[in-house]
Structure 1
């Protein structure tokens, strides 16, 4: 049926199993974990100690008890310095962990192990190990030797040192790491309390309570490890720079689980909270953008031979509370000193203002600043493409060139602000009548141009007549001006008309072809401009089309160029 302390043995064995599982978990995920070697060592030595304690309690002779005590010391003296190292890694104190310090911490445990293994020859660690006469089960009474006291002081020194460091960093650590912080603090305080109780003979029948306590602390470590990413990436000493950065910063493990973030990232990813630590960032990411979370790992593989950590960048559309923003996402691999991949660093930089400025500059390069229609240079570029398509498809390309009549009078009578309103009024009317595939542009001043693919000269003239009639029929109505007269004055009404010149590229090409050449956009617009000149001289508010006479100069010019 087992020993009277089968329940205690079960708890101790459970602690050992948990430590083995944690060690295997970190070992198999070592490329994704920080502090992995230290934590694996802690799990290994803890398992050795607790399994040795369980076997000691179940031993049936003094010789067996002495054997299992020696087994325990292959793990026990190493636990305090390893715990201290783990805490220093967690607090970002890596810069203090120089090789001499790391080696020095393990001199005492190694000496203790040697003295325990050879205790029968010098009794410097245990003066005696005898069967207890008072216990209700097989148990030994240990009489401490000089080195036992020294090792005990070293053990408490490491543990108290860890407690002091954790308390000193309590207010400096981000609240999202409070669980991990508390786990490590409790993982030290409980064994300290247990040791005092054991040394004060306050435990039942003098049983060492530490292996039982490790059942609790190991379970806490396991939860913090698997559930909250305790060992994913050391949170680094959190200084004011990280907290006050204007750019959002995310620290992820290699599986895109959140390890850390700064307040700026919380304003960019609105649902980001301390509870997000240890969970994948991708669901929160997809709430703001359709862009794929950057993964520099492929570039990392390509540059591994050069020992370079590339920075991957991309500008993405980012939505926050229904508002559109633009963020530059920078992603890079975080490495430990040995070059081992440790996690990912994602920086979110707000570039909305810059992108909007670039879009505005790009828009100004193609569009007129006042009316929003294409400017002259971009219209020429687009028209040249349309002309090539028209030639390939053997289709006509019509051009309407029109000018607002007596525009200077409007500016002189009402001011340039009203003149601008007149231009916008005409543009709005034209847009309502043009087809989607027509190209509309401001040619200069009060002059506008339209390219109309597929229209013959007759059809283009009809379209021009429709636009001319709409402009003439719908005057510009200005807002009423507040005056001191008792009777309100009706709002000013400004009648606007326009004169049109129409030419079709096919007609020009036909004339040019007689001279062995091909018409260009510039030549076709010149013909439309001649027709517009005729419309102005003919009384304005009318439409004129290019005739064969309008192409006479073009014909002579192309012919002269050919003969030359």
Structure 2
């Protein structure tokens, strides 16, 4: 009859192979957090393999050796898990700091050194002995003071990652929302079993953390194939939607508002959370030309006063279609073109105005006279032209200089 410890060892070896396979699979995707996820899976694989060997052996020295091997992977999982959470939720500001990156690896690195030198100081384990449960002997570990330090560090990493996933869950929708929920629960399973280990209340005195890590790995696989965990597109789209300077309003096929980004609230102060579910006409109720352009899918320019300044915006509408070209909604994009309008106005002014006098120049005269002559030909009417000349202007330039002549021209203009 196969012993229970052999069966559990086989389960741990299978878990090790599973997480190793997941690590190799994750490397096929090219996202910002692929390598981090792969390192987590490699660490869990090593942890599971080490614990499987610990269960398989009955010699105390061999069990202690494989327990130390487990720490090569287990100690770095919390740090990598926090990094993965920061990368997946696009909160990467901290990761740009070299001090932060080095800081979060100091505790695991020190713990690894303390663990491998434990026989000299007993800071991590004060005692390592046999303990017989109802089935087979297991390694009993009395925790030392540094074990508590490592557990506190683990808890900080897990709680921080969980908060990040929960915050992202509240902000997003669709597949990204499901993935954040999976990651949130995957954070807590190993942590809860680590608490059981710390309090020495684990059933049958087993170390259940590797088993919980295996369940988390299965959750990884579920998210990977069901909701495309490793695809960057959903989160990238969400980030672009939130951060773009263009105002974006999403409507359903009945032209009712279902979502909008922060920029839309700035352009249209009347657009609030209470606007969700309302018809777009209620937002532009005083500007029927805009609502007509939205319904007709035509581009239009409008202006409004924001912060005591006249601003110009271009508004366009595009349809949201399924693969079968069925329209299921609309996207309204409002772009600030104030600078463009001001620049074009300035260019037009420079092209048609005289720099010195500020009155219309020769180019404007030719364009306007051409237009008037064409109108005259159509209407068969009459046209009057007045010409002005300054007497003795040359004498002013000769006697007082061209600067004085310029002043005279400006005064006459």
Shared topology, TM-score over 0.5?
Answer: yes
For residues 105 and 135 of structure 1, the distance between their equivalents in structure 2, rounded to whole angstroms, comes to 40
The separation in 2 between residues aligned to 1:137 and 1:240, in whole angstroms, is 57
2:11 aligned with 1:52, yes or no?
no
| Residues 229 and 263 (structure 1), Cα distance of their counterparts in 2 relative to 1, 3 Å cut | farther
User: Which structure shows the bigger proportion of residues in helix conformation?
Assistant: 2
**Closer, same or farther: CA 79–42 of 1 in aligned 2, 3 Å:** same
Instruction: Give the structure 2 partner of residue 84 of structure 1.
Output: 82
Please tell me whether residue 268 in structure 1 is matched to residue 319 in structure 2: yes
| Residue aligning to 1:19 | 19
Residue pair 2:190, 2:210 contacting (<8 A) in 1 also = no
Is the 1:61–1:138 contact (alpha carbons within 8 Å) kept by the matching residues of 2?
no
Question: Cα–Cα, structure 1 residues 142 and 153, in superposed 2: closer, same or farther, change >3 Å?
Answer: same
The answer to whether the 8 Å contact 1:14/1:215 transfers is no
Q: Secondary structure at the match of 1:128?
A: strand
Change (3 A) 1:242 1:219: farther
1:173 deviates by 2.2
Contact 1:127 1:145 in 2 (8 A): yes
Residue 8 of structure 1 is matched in structure 2 by: 8
Query: How many equivalent pairs are there?
Result: 270
Map Cα deviations across residues 251-276 of structure 1 (whole Å, 9 max, x no partner).
Answer: xxxxxxxxxxx989x983333xxxxx
Task: Give the match for residue 31 of structure 2.
Answer: 33
- 8 Å contact 1:115–1:124 — kept in the other structure? yes
Q: 1:117 to 1:2 in 2, by over 3 A?
A: farther
Aligned match of 2:101: 102
1:1-400 equivalence runs, <5 A: 1-27=1-27, 29-30=28-29, 32-97=30-95, 98-133=97-132, 136-233=135-232, 235=235, 238=239, 240-241=242-243, 245-246=247-248, 268-271=319-322, 284=323, 287-288=324-325, 320=327
Following superposition, the deviation at residue 128 of structure 1 comes to: 1.4
Distance of aligned partners of 1:2 and 1:243 in 2 relative to their CA distance in 1, 3 Å threshold: farther
Counterparts of 1:104 and 1:149, CA distance in 2? 18
Q: 2: distance between equivalents of 1:62 and 1:155?
A: 27
Match in the other structure for 1:382: none
Per-residue deviation, residues 429-448 of structure 1 (Å, max 9, x unmatched): xxxxxxxxxxxxxxxx9xxx
Q: Any unmatched runs of 5+ in structure 2?
A: 251-258, 262-316, 335-377, 379-413
Whose radius of gyration is greater, 1 or 2? 1
**How far apart are the structure 1 equivalents of 2:198 and 2:76?**
20
- The 3 A distance-change label for structure 1 pair 349 and 113 is same
Aligned to 1:504: none
On the 8 A contact 1:53/1:69 being kept in 2, the answer is yes
Tell me how far apart the structure 2 counterparts of residues 193 and 14 of structure 1 sit (CA, whole Å): 22
CA distance in 1, matches of 2:184, 2:246: 28
Residues 58 and 86 (structure 1 numbering): CA distance in 2 closer, same or farther, change over 3 Å? same
Contact 1:48–1:72 (Cα < 8 Å) also in 2 = yes
RMSD over aligned Cα atoms: 3.3
TM-superposition CA deviations, 1:303-349 (whole Å, max 9, x none) = xxxxxxxxxxxxxxxx748xxx9xxxxxxxxxxxxxxxxxxxxx998
Report deviation, 1:63: 1.0
SS at match of 2:137: coil
CA distance in 2: counterparts of 1:180 and 1:10, whole angstroms: 30
Q: Encode CA deviations 1:338-393: one digit per residue, 9 max, x unaligned.
A: xxxxxxxxx9989xxxxxxxxxxxxxxxxxxxxxxxxxxxxxxxxxxxxxxxxxxx
Instruction: Note closer, same or farther for the CA distance 1:320–1:157 as it changes in structure 2 (3 Å cut).
Output: closer
**Which whole-Å CA distance do the structure 1 matches of 2:66 and 2:141 have between them?**
14
Per-residue deviation, 1:39: 0.9
Whether contact under 8 Å (1:243, 1:263) holds in the other structure is no
TM-score, scaled to structure 2: 0.58
* Residues 352-501 of structure 1 aligned to structure 2 (within 5 Å): none
Q: Offset at 1:222?
A: 1.3
CA shift for structure 1 position 105: 0.6
